[in-house]
Structure 1
Amino acid sequence: MIAVIIVTWNSAGDLIECLESLSRLQHESFCVIICDNDSRDGTREKLFQWIDHRLDAPMNGTAWSSIRTATRRNLKAGSAEISLESRSVYWCPLGTNAGFAAANNVGMAKAFADPSVSAAWLLNSDTIVDPDALSSLEAFSNQQLRPGLTGSMLLYYDDPDTVQACGGKYSLLTHKGREVGNGLTAGSVDSTIGSHDIDYVVGASMLVSRPFYETVGPMCEEYFLYFEEMDWSLRSAGRFDIAFTSQSVVYHKEGGSIGTKGRGRPGDASIYYMNRAMLRFSQIHKPLSLVTALGRVVARGTRYLAARDRAGAKAVVSAVVDWARGERAVRPMPSGGDQ
């Protein structure tokens, strides 16, 4: 069985839409574990309304055109008192906003405690999935010599023929990164990118094998948000395959889980956590390049100032100050932020 783990925070609408797409998966054995980071928008109530057919999921996006006709099979509420069951949904409240990694770690601990679970599929709440997404992901992972982390081809939810990412590349020397495949048409990926031509799998859709989890360990909780996937890949130290398959298609509302809308300027919260995490990532994995990382962060803040974007500049300054203080947890955003 595959355990699908979804972290959510005040994103009830996105979560219900994601689950609606999961109900159309052509996979015989999966369960869903929802790890809630202390949502205050009625997520739990709306979840069970949807399970009980008292709430309809929105299916208005263009990406639904290839999904809505697939056969729908109901998901049911799972019981915490019994072992994980296929096509069951388990509610796992954390009681606090513990961050992306910590919440996923809670879900993976619950999943892998069940010996019938062979892998965990970490999936963002702001995604919808193709009916064959999980079957293709599992099949490709099982073909690898050392199955570790396997990603999907992420397409834009609002532009489903265009690739958001097939994975990522990142240099610890320059602290420059990029999303592999960004902007390509979906049909051109196989002739352009090799399945192993990535440094890390994007966390919006990532299949984690049991051997990887038991050998490398859970996600690092030092970042709160961002850079967890890169950290995990580096810690695997070449012992496992890190790859993606274009046959597993997931549509992503880029930035939806952190409040960023569309493909323009990131939200203030995203700016803050991205820069804070990058400094911590450098500090852990390449301290000699910390000056370079700090220079890139300062340059970003300067660009926001030059553009008279005071909120963006303030988010960058807050990120540097809190990183220097050793801050690891959630924090209230500066005025004008999106959280």
Structure 2
Amino acid sequence: MAEGKRVEDYPLISLITVNYNQAEVTCDMLESTRQLTYPNFEIIVVDNGSIEDPTDRILDRNFPHVRVIVSPTNLGFSGGNNLGLEYAKGDYIFLLNNDTIVTANLLEKLLEPFRQDATIGVVCPKIRYYDQPEVIQFAGYHPLSEYTGRTWAIGLNEPDKGQYNKPGPTYFAHGAAMMVSRAVLERAGSLDNSFFLYYEELDWSARIRRSGFLIYYQPDALIFHRESMSVGKMNPMKVYYHTRNRLWFMRRNVTGLSLLVFYIYYFSIAIPKALLVHTIRWQPAYLKAIKDAVVWNLTHQPERSLEKPAPVAVAA
């Protein structure tokens, strides 16, 4: 803390994390927050309908600044975070996966870009793998292909040799760690609950950019991520939501010829390829997941928000 400044002189940061049947993993992340040097933050743990209520286990560890909110049902990634937002008091909201480990100056570094540019609405840290701490998972995102509905992280699986240490705007935020200004929530709204799991941060990012904000990559901020601990590397639920939400995202965010080309690609190449692979391997649960994902889209209509970005006033 700077000399002469009080805690309340610093913007309040609300750190929100979602727990689902992973109390010890969540406690590992909370343990790492003890080293945070930023003086003014709160932590909101949302339990997403776990079999065992983790409240006592978390509170018995005497983590500072922590409040536990228990949902009786699993609201998904988007719904769980949105529940946490209802209790967040911060000027900035930091959505953080429970399967991450933070570094000491993380919050200070994430705040820096907001102070430099009023058009910045979201800041994401560099992400490296927990089990391979020198290997990058995320250093920004490439643009999305409007014809395939695909994007990929910059630096993915590359050794970190400083090649992505330049900060700057990026196309999408990473769902594992993203700090959002209160102004974003007021103008662009929160995550869309219809996604439940996967693609929700891409949809939110697209909506945030249409609202006139930049999404920013800050390499001076760093976290470590234990990827896919909550749903596993591959299972029918993951196949279902990836299939369903890729199509749902495109229907919500792309129009015209681009969407037509995507439909042709998706239903003549991507879906048949997946069906063939799971048939050869004889994975009937995966085949059903793909069928259910397509049927869900046939029975749901998106509410698009494709207006041009609103102007953003830049402070002098």
Indicate whether 1:243 and 2:192 are aligned.
no
**One-letter amino acid of the counterpart of residue 101, structure 1:** S
Q: Return the alpha-carbon distance in structure 2 between the equivalents of residues 203 and 246 of structure 1.
A: 16
Q: Is the 8 A contact 1:27 1:134 kept in 2?
A: yes
Which of the numbers 266, 272, 283 marks the counterpart of 2:240?
272
Indicate whether 1:319 and 2:293 are aligned.
yes
For 1:56-94, what per-residue CA distance to the aligned partner results, in whole angstroms no more than 9, with x for missing partners?
xxxxxxxxxxxxxxxxxx51xxxxxxxxxxxx1111112
For the structure 1 residues 45 and 323, does the alpha-carbon distance in structure 2 shift closer, same or farther, using more than 3 Å as the test?
Answer: farther
Question: How does the TM-score come out when normalised to structure 1?
Answer: 0.77
1:5 maps to 16
Indicate whether 1:131 and 2:108 are aligned.
no
Point out where structure 2 has 5 or more consecutive residues left out of the alignment: 1-11, 303-316
* Stretch moving more, 118-127 or 288-297: 288-297
Q: Return the alpha-carbon distance in structure 1 between the equivalents of residues 301 and 77 of structure 2.
A: 15
Which of the numbers 85, 97, 104 marks the counterpart of 1:108?
85
Q: Return the alpha-carbon distance in structure 2 between the equivalents of residues 195 and 322 of structure 1.
A: 37
- Return the offset for 1:13: 1.4
Q: Return the alpha-carbon distance in structure 1 between the equivalents of residues 42 and 172 of structure 2.
A: 25
Q: Return the alpha-carbon distance in structure 1 between the equivalents of residues 283 and 167 of structure 2.
A: 39
For 1:80-128, what per-residue CA distance to the aligned partner results, in whole angstroms no more than 9, with x for missing partners?
xxxxxxxx111111221111112211212321xx3xx210000001111
- Return the offset for 1:327: 11
2:181 maps to 209
- Return the offset for 1:146: 1.1
**Alignment RMSD:** 2.2
2:310 maps to none
Q: Secondary structure at the match of 2:242?
A: helix
Question: How does the TM-score come out when normalised to structure 2?
Answer: 0.82
For 1:294-336, what per-residue CA distance to the aligned partner results, in whole angstroms no more than 9, with x for missing partners?
44234223223234444433432332233334499xxxxxxxx
Q: Return the alpha-carbon distance in structure 1 between the equivalents of residues 162 and 277 of structure 2.
A: 34
Q: Return the alpha-carbon distance in structure 1 between the equivalents of residues 42 and 19 of structure 2.
A: 16
Point out where structure 1 has 5 or more consecutive residues left out of the alignment: 52-73, 76-87, 261-265, 329-339
Q: How does 1:23-102 map to 2 (within 5 A)?
A: 23-51=34-62, 74-75=63-64, 88-102=65-79
2:278 maps to 304
For the structure 1 residues 99 and 202, does the alpha-carbon distance in structure 2 shift closer, same or farther, using more than 3 Å as the test?
Answer: same
**One-letter amino acid of the counterpart of residue 176, structure 2:** A
Q: Is the 8 A contact 1:203 1:229 kept in 2?
A: yes
Indicate whether 1:19 and 2:30 are aligned.
yes
**One-letter amino acid of the counterpart of residue 312, structure 1:** Y
Q: Is the 8 A contact 1:4 1:122 kept in 2?
A: yes
For 1:196-242, what per-residue CA distance to the aligned partner results, in whole angstroms no more than 9, with x for missing partners?
2x310111000001111111111111211111111112112161111
Q: How does 1:320-335 map to 2 (within 5 A)?
A: 320-326=294-300
- Return the offset for 1:244: 1.1
For the structure 1 residues 135 and 294, does the alpha-carbon distance in structure 2 shift closer, same or farther, using more than 3 Å as the test?
Answer: farther
- Return the offset for 1:37: 1.1
Q: Return the alpha-carbon distance in structure 2 between the equivalents of residues 267 and 167 of structure 1.
A: 27
For the structure 1 residues 259 and 45, does the alpha-carbon distance in structure 2 shift closer, same or farther, using more than 3 Å as the test?
Answer: farther
1:336 maps to none
2:5 maps to none
